[in-house]
Amino acid sequence: MITADLPVQLALAAVALISNGLSAFAGGGAGLVQLPALILLGLNFSTALATHKVASVALGVGAAGRHMRASSLDRRLSALVLCAGLPGVCIGANLVLAIPDQVATIGLAVLTLGLGLYSSRRPQLGNDEHLKAVTGKTLWVGAFGLFTIGIINGSLTSGTGLFVTLWLVRWFGLSYIRAVAHTLILVGLAWNGTGALALGLKGDIHWQWLPALIVGSLVGGYIGAHWSIKQGETIVKQAFEILALVMGLSLLVRGLLL
């Protein structure tokens, strides 16, 4: 039987604080820590996923509170992230239960490792901002990339904020700090909120655990966003790469052991 006593609530809050703090600092990856923790604490996969998606919206709220003060968002690019990505999230959420857990885990591991390796081999990537006009080829290829990542976000479930961060840096020319801001607010609030609604309608949400997860996510999101703004591009880029490599390896091991 799944309990909701004080030690469990404190553990949930700590997991949410740490995972969402790291995610807000590096630009994604909260689900790579939080989702497995929910499963280890006794939830089945579908319930853990739905619960995680609801709680992760609080990460976007916490990060938004800090990044909005720094005026980090580009309005036109933000509209594109929402319009192109949300349909993909809906499609992915409807596919998730049809994908074998081992296949999804290993696939996500390979993709996440690829992100970390790609960024680490390009020292200047994202250190300076060269924002492209969101028109023509930049618009259509960028939209297709966001739509594809949205499907991955809805179906593979964990760590896909890292994909959005790198796509915004590589294709649209954002610096890492501004890319992280767009990811946390738009993916955290809109994409994860849509995924949470879709999964909540299809499966159970463990409501007793949400207060602790939401508090931890809010605080972690704000603190991580604050560190990201204060530390500068180089540190954020390194944090992104380390998190992608560590999480990719851990997912690969987990997938091979399933």
At 162, which amino acid appears?
L
Judging by beta carbons within 10 Å of its beta carbon (0-12, 13-18, 19+), is residue 94 exposed, middle or buried? middle
pLDDT in tens, 133-182: 888 899 999 999 999 998 887 776 566 777 888 899 889 999 888 888 88
Instruction: Say yes or no to pLDDT of 216 above 80.
Output: yes
Closest Cα partner for 167 from 178, 155, 179? 179
The stretch 18-26 carries a mean pLDDT of 80
Domains of the chain, by residue range, sit at 6-257
- Give the percent of the chain with pLDDT over 90: 13
pLDDT of residue 97: 62
- Whole-structure pTM over 0.75, yes or no? yes
User: pLDDT tier at 237 (50, 70, 90 boundaries)?
Assistant: confident
Span 123-135, pLDDT tens digits = 776 666 777 888 8
Distance CA(11)–CA(8), nearest Å, equals: 5
pLDDT of residue 70: 59
What is the b/e burial string over 152-167, where b = at least 16 CB atoms within 10 angstroms of the residue's CB? bbbbbbbbbbbbbbbb
**Mean pLDDT over residues 193-216, rounded?**
81
pLDDT of residue 69: 61
217 near 21, Cβ under 8 Å?
no
How high is the mean pLDDT of the chain? 80
Does position 210 have pLDDT exceeding 50, yes or no? yes
Whether the predicted pLDDT of 2 surpasses 80: no
